[in-house]
């Protein structure tokens, strides 16, 4: 997926169907990796459309939106942060796969065979199941995956709350496919598997009848996101729930699910959302005596401690009563409107940066990424009502003006662009010179 010009066009119908894995081998088989469309980016407008539809349906059914603005912005911020490394290099899930394919493959299955397509569908989904399960059962992997579970709401925006660290371990579980599956076929299903999991993050859909036996559904995935004791380490499926049924990790939805981490982090600040568990591991590692115990802190379950089973004790999971109130921002409505406007602008800037990355210098890309991170951090500080939030936001605005004057950013409004241009003119220019411009 290096050269956008070489990628195949994706129709509107395909952009919709790809989110539900309703695609045919004949329309999604490509000979080379460069031809594979970036289905995830092309589906982005439908993410927004479905979230708005969910908002309307949820409001009609329950008289309130399906989640808070603060939580939704934090989820989308995490999604943005998780994608920023792609501005500089191809995903390790692809680079590692291509390396193994080019150097160690045993056989080469035909890229245009429907049998290869369906085998890859099963192989990627099977690999995802075991990656996902290990991401819950191995503490250092949980440090990445916990980001996705940190939301105390459950709606389509939760699907976007992704970890920047997760791909650095997930590639391991797909690597065996590189011994016989062409990279172009793998790249298609890697995206489809991810996109399918978007729509199952909702409370709007209750039960899908017989499909519940085979597919991962909103009901099954709600259990996975629960912090009730009966929900812990259950339903790891990506597309097919059959893996959980086979390997004994399936649990049906029954009592009311309370979402989020067993110990809520109570923050909207993106760095804490992404990295707080790494800090916890570091602290626990040094506080735990003995080499083998330290090793276990990293590679056993998040709930492990000396003298406990590998995954910890289920009775140590805090019980929920179903009356828990999600953490919300105490910011005023006016401040929340300001935050929403700033987030909308930075989202547009993020999309523009990806669209223009081929023509931007590495310096400009790096400065843009830093500004995006600074903006999302400032938004988190404002929602958290941190004491230094106003100082950070003022600094962010000054950085914005400085980057605009240096030519690394461009203002959204032409009037501001003109003002910056005039301000940067040499002082010796006369009034007539200005008018002539």
Helix segments in 138-250, DSSP class H = 139-149, 167-174, 183-199, 218-224, 242-247
Other Cβ atoms within 10 Å of 236 Cβ, number: 25
User: Which one of 38-42, 303-307, 408-412 scores highest in mean pLDDT?
Assistant: 303-307
Average pLDDT over residues 286-295: 97
pLDDT tens digit string along 231-290? 999 999 999 999 999 999 999 999 999 999 999 999 999 999 999 999 999 999 999 999
If we measure between CA atoms, which residue out of 137, 58, 170, 431 comes closest to residue 300?
A: 137
Average pLDDT over residues 186-215: 97
Please tell me the least confidently modeled range out of 37-51, 231-245, 324-338, 375-389. 37-51
Other Cβ atoms within 10 Å of 83 Cβ, number: 17
Average pLDDT over residues 45-69: 90
The confidence score (pLDDT) of residue 45 equals 87
If we measure between CA atoms, which residue out of 155, 128, 185 comes closest to residue 62?
A: 155
Residue 134: which H helix or E strand, with range?
helix 114-137
The confidence score (pLDDT) of residue 62 equals 83
Average pLDDT, the chain: 92
pLDDT tens digit string along 341-373? 999 999 999 999 999 999 999 999 999 999 999
At residue 24, the 3 state secondary structure works out as coil
* Residue in this structure with the two tokens 């110990």, named with its chain if needed: 263
Helix segments in 288-361, DSSP class H = 291-299, 333-355
Q: How far apart are CA 212 and CA 235, in angstroms?
A: 12
394 contacts: CB under 8 Å, gap ≥ 6: none
Q: How far apart are CA 234 and CA 271, in angstroms?
A: 27
Average pLDDT over residues 319-340: 94
Average pLDDT over residues 182-195: 98
The confidence score (pLDDT) of residue 432 equals 39
Q: How far apart are CA 28 and CA 189, in angstroms?
A: 9
Q: How far apart are CA 371 and CA 378, in angstroms?
A: 10
Confidence of residue 434 (pLDDT cuts 50, 70, 90): very low
Please tell me the least confidently modeled range out of 12-16, 18-22, 185-189, 211-215. 12-16
The confidence score (pLDDT) of residue 435 equals 34
**Per-residue tokens: 270:** 């993106």
The CA-atom distances, in angstroms, between 303 and each of 110, 224, 308, 312, 313 are 45, 17, 9, 4, 7
If we measure between CA atoms, which residue out of 48, 2, 23 comes closest to residue 347?
A: 48
Q: Residue 422 pLDDT > 50, yes or no?
A: no
pLDDT tens digit string along 117-163? 999 999 999 999 999 999 999 999 999 999 999 999 999 999 999 99
At residue 364, the 3 state secondary structure works out as helix
The upper half-sphere exposure of residue 282, i.e. CA atoms within 13 Å in the direction of its Cβ, equals 5
297 contacts: CB under 8 Å, gap ≥ 6: 139, 281, 284, 285, 288, 304
Kindly report whether the global pTM for this prediction surpasses the value 0.85.
Answer: yes
pLDDT tens digit string along 35-47? 999 999 898 889 9
Q: Residue 30 pLDDT > 80, yes or no?
A: yes
The confidence score (pLDDT) of residue 6 equals 59
């Amino acid at each position: 997926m290096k050269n956008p010009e070489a990628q195949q066009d994706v129709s509107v119908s395909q952009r919709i169907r790809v989110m539900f894995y309703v695609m045919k081998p004949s329309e999604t088989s490509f000979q080379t990796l460069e031809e594979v469309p970036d289905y995830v980016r092309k589906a982005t407008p439908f993410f927004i459309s479905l979230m708005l539809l969910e908002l309307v349906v949820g409001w009609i059914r329950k008289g309130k939106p399906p989640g808070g603005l603060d939580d939704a912005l934090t989820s989308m911020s995490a999604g943005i942060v998780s994608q920023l490394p792609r501005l500089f290099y191809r995903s390790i899930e692809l680079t590692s796969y291509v390396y193994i394919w080019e150097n160690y493959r045993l056989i080469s299955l035909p890229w245009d065979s429907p049998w290869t397509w369906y085998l890859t569908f099963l192989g990627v989904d099977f690999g995802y199941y075991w990656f996902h399960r290990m991401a819950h059962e191995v503490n250092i992997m949980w440090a990445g995956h916990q980001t996705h579970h940190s939301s105390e709401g459950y709606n389509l925006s939760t699907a976007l709350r992704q970890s920047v660290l997760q791909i650095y371990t997930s590639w391991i579980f797909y690597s065996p496919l590189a011994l016989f599956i062409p990279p172009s076929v793998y790249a298609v299903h890697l995206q489809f598997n991810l996109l399918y999991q978007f729509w199952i993050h909702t409370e709007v859909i209750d039960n899908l009848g017989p499909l519940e036996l085979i597919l991962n559904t909103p009901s099954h995935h709600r259990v996975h996101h629960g912090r009730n004791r009966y929900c812990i380490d259950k339903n790891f499926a990506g597309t097919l729930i059959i893996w959980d049924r086979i390997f004994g990790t399936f649990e049906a939805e029954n009592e009311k699910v309370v979402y989020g981490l067993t110990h809520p982090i109570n923050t909207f600040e993106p760095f804490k959302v992404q990295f707080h568990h790494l800090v916890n591991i570091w602290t626990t590692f040094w506080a735990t005596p003995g080499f083998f115990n330290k090793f276990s802190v990293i590679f056993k379950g998040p709930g492990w401690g000396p003298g406990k089973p590998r995954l910890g004790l289920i009775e140590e999971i805090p019980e929920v009563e179903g009356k828990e109130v999600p953490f919300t921002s105490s910011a005023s409505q006016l401040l929340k409107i300001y935050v929403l406007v700033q987030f909308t602008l930075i989202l547009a800037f993020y999309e523009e940066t990806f669209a223009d990355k081929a023509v931007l210098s590495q310096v400009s890309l790096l400065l843009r990424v830093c500004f995006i991170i600074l903006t999302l951090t400032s938004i988190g500080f404002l929602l958290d009502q941190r004491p230094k939030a106003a100082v950070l936001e003022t600094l962010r605005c000054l950085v914005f003006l400085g980057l605009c004057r240096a030519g690394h950013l461009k203002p959204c409004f032409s009037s501001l662009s003109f003002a910056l241009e005039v301000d940067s003119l040499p002082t010796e220019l006369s009034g007539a010179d200005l008018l002539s411009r």
